[in-house]
């Protein structure tokens, strides 16, 4: 038997229904904040991700579904959504219009990772990207919006925050860190040795306890921020405090993608296990310019759909619409025509098999129908239908008209 590929999942009811419920409610929330829908292709030129997510990241370095297509183009299934949205924003000259543009998107992403609980090779994200606003209020706004989404679904979480500095304060800090790392003779894991050479601040993301111990006395970016970055971060944290939003500053939060600067954040939920980040994001003020657009500050986040669905309970279905059943074969044509008429205004499920009343009532209950409509010999003869209101527990005979 042919099975789905490792790390790729089908979505069937009730999980698939939960996804639609999540989308519907989340879209309603982001629309309140002025976000509009954007859709970009699943396949992009590999160079887009190399330049934005970064060659030194694990995503680009090890996890891309990359191939050469029939036209000889080096292409890649998108490992994340931000890069494609930025490309589209520039390609459609939205960067030249000025003002603020806010987008949301959702759909599958692909990373060739080692699958485990909460980590798939094809997974879905719900993401937002805001362009053109450099105020720390936009950082607060986007964090509040994400918090509103998680609160709506009654998810418990911790908000982790950090500042990654900017092109002024990051390079001198990086040099200081490289000097510190240079003094460590051995003990760092293979990945950290590689990071030391390619993107040293990523060492803080290492989960290896030996590396974490070695990094304990390392210099921290939070203490090396320039005045403007320090101000941006303290204005943001003050605003969150003013609004009563609890947060934790996590100096190890460096994110796995290279385009970030200043604010970086993650919402983590202990109930998820090892892969505990339900959503993550941050500022990327230089990416639009770096990919060829006009300088445009930007910030965004993405929610891991599979992870959030684990923690959402689908509200119990309310009884709705009709269930149609026949007691004898001869009643089925009439039943079919009547059901079709009712379907113009209501949800209708219909059984094509003649069955006992008891069997139909059971099926109507399973279909969460409000009314069970039955036609048997008697109803056919009298041109009537038998209707039971399954909520009010009342029965009546109605004219079939």
Residue 127 and residue 301: Cα distance in Å, rounded?
6
In the complex, least distance from residue 312 CB atom to ligand HAM, rounded to whole angstroms? 14
Point out the residue whose Cβ comes nearest to ligand HAM: 304
Give the closest residue to 298 by CA, choosing from 127, 59, 147. Answer: 127
Q: Give the residue with the Cβ less far from ligand HAM, 57 or 351.
A: 57
- 214 upstream amide cis, omega within 30 of 0: no
Quick check: 38 binds ligand HAM (CB under 6 A)?
no
Quick check: 104 binds ligand HAM (CB under 6 A)?
no
Query: Percent helix, strand, coil in the chain (nearest 5)?
Result: 40, 25, 35
Find all residues with CB under 8 Å of 257, minimum gap 6, and list them. 52, 53, 54, 57, 59, 80, 82
Q: Which of residues 66-85 bind ligand HAM (CB under 6 A)?
A: 80-82
Quick check: 119 binds ligand HAM (CB under 6 A)?
yes
Give the closest residue to 269 by CA, choosing from 185, 157, 381, 177. Answer: 157
Applying CB under 6 A, the site for ligand HAM has a residue count of 26
Residue 194 and residue 198: Cα distance in Å, rounded?
6
Residue 127 and residue 304: Cα distance in Å, rounded?
9
Quick check: 370 binds ligand HAM (CB under 6 A)?
no
Residue 56 and residue 200: Cα distance in Å, rounded?
10
Among 103, 123, 136, 324, which residue interacts with ligand HAM (rule: CB under 6 A)? 123
Among 18, 78, 102, 111, which residue interacts with ligand HAM (rule: CB under 6 A)? 111
Residue 295 and residue 34: Cα distance in Å, rounded?
22
For residue 34, give both structure tokens: 């002025």
The region of 33-41, 112-120, 140-148, 149-157 touching ligand HAM under the rule CB under 6 A is 112-120
Quick check: 120 binds ligand HAM (CB under 6 A)?
yes
Q: Which of residues 298-317 bind ligand HAM (CB under 6 A)?
A: 300-302, 304, 306-307
Quick check: 127 binds ligand HAM (CB under 6 A)?
yes
Quick check: 160 binds ligand HAM (CB under 6 A)?
no
In the complex, least distance from residue 184 CB atom to ligand HAM, rounded to whole angstroms? 27
Q: 185-190 contacts: CB < 8 A, separation 24 or more? A: 187/211, 187/214, 188/214
In the complex, least distance from residue 334 CB atom to ligand HAM, rounded to whole angstroms? 51
In the complex, least distance from residue 266 CB atom to ligand HAM, rounded to whole angstroms? 6
Q: Which of residues 266-285 bind ligand HAM (CB under 6 A)?
A: 277-282
Quick check: 256 binds ligand HAM (CB under 6 A)?
yes
Residue 47 and residue 51: Cα distance in Å, rounded?
6
Helices and strands counted in the chain (H then E): 14, 16
The CA-atom distances, in angstroms, between 395 and each of 271, 383, 398 are 46, 17, 10
In the complex, least distance from residue 279 CB atom to ligand HAM, rounded to whole angstroms? 5
In the complex, least distance from residue 299 CB atom to ligand HAM, rounded to whole angstroms? 7
In the complex, least distance from residue 223 CB atom to ligand HAM, rounded to whole angstroms? 25
Quick check: 125 binds ligand HAM (CB under 6 A)?
yes
Residues forming contacts to ligand HAM in the complex (CB under 6 A) are 80-82, 111, 113, 118-120, 123, 125, 127, 129, 256-257, 277-282, 300-302, 304, 306-307
């Amino acid at each position: 038997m042919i099975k789905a590929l490792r790390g790729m999942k089908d979505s069937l009811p009730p999980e698939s229904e939960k996804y639609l419920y999540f989308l519907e409610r989340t879209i309603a929330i982001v629309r309140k904040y002025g976000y509009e829908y954007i859709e970009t292709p699943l396949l992009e030129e590999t160079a887009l991700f190399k330049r934005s997510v970064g060659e030194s990241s694990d995503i680009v370095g090890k996890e891309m579904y990359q191939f050469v297509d029939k036209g000889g183009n080096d292409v890649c299934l998108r490992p994340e959504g931000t890069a494609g949205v930025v490309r589209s924003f520039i390609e459609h000259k939205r960067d030249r219009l000025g003002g603020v543009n806010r987008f949301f998107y959702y759909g599958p992403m692909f990373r060739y990772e080692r699958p485990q609980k909460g980590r798939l090779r094809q997974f879905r994200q719900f993401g937002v990207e805001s362009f053109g606003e450099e105020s720390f209020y936009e950082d607060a706004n986007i964090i509040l919006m994400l918090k509103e989404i998680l609160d709506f679904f009654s998810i418990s979480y911790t908000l982790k925050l950090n500042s990654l500095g900017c092109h002024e304060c990051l390079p001198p800090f990086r040099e200081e860190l490289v000097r510190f790392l240079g003094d460590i003779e051995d003990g760092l894991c293979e990945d950290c040795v590689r990071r030391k050479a390619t993107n040293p601040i990523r060492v803080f993301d290492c989960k290896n306890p030996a590396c974490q111990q070695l990094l304990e006395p390392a210099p921290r970016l939070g203490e090396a921020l320039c005045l403007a970055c320090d101000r941006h971060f303290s204005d943001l944290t003050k605003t969150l405090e003013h609004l009563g939003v609890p947060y934790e500053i996590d100096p190890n939060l460096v994110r796995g993608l290279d385009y970030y600067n200043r604010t970086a954040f993650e919402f983590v939920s202990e109930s998820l296990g090892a892969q505990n980040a339900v959503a993550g994001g941050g500022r990327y003020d230089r990416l639009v310019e770096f990919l060829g657009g006009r300088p445009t500050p930007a910030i965004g986040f993405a929610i891991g759909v599979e992870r959030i669905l684990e923690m959402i309970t689908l509200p119990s279905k309310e009884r709705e619409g009709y269930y149609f059943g026949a007691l004898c074969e001869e009643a089925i044509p009439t039943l079919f025509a009547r059901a079709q008429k009712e379907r113009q205004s209501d949800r209708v499920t219909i059984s094509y098999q003649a069955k006992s009343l008891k069997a139909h009532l059971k099926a109507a209950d399973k279909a969460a129908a409000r009314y069970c409509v039955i036609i048997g010999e008697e109803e056919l003869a009298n041109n009537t239908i038998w209707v039971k209101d399954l909520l009010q527990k009342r029965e009546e005979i109605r004219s079939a008209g």
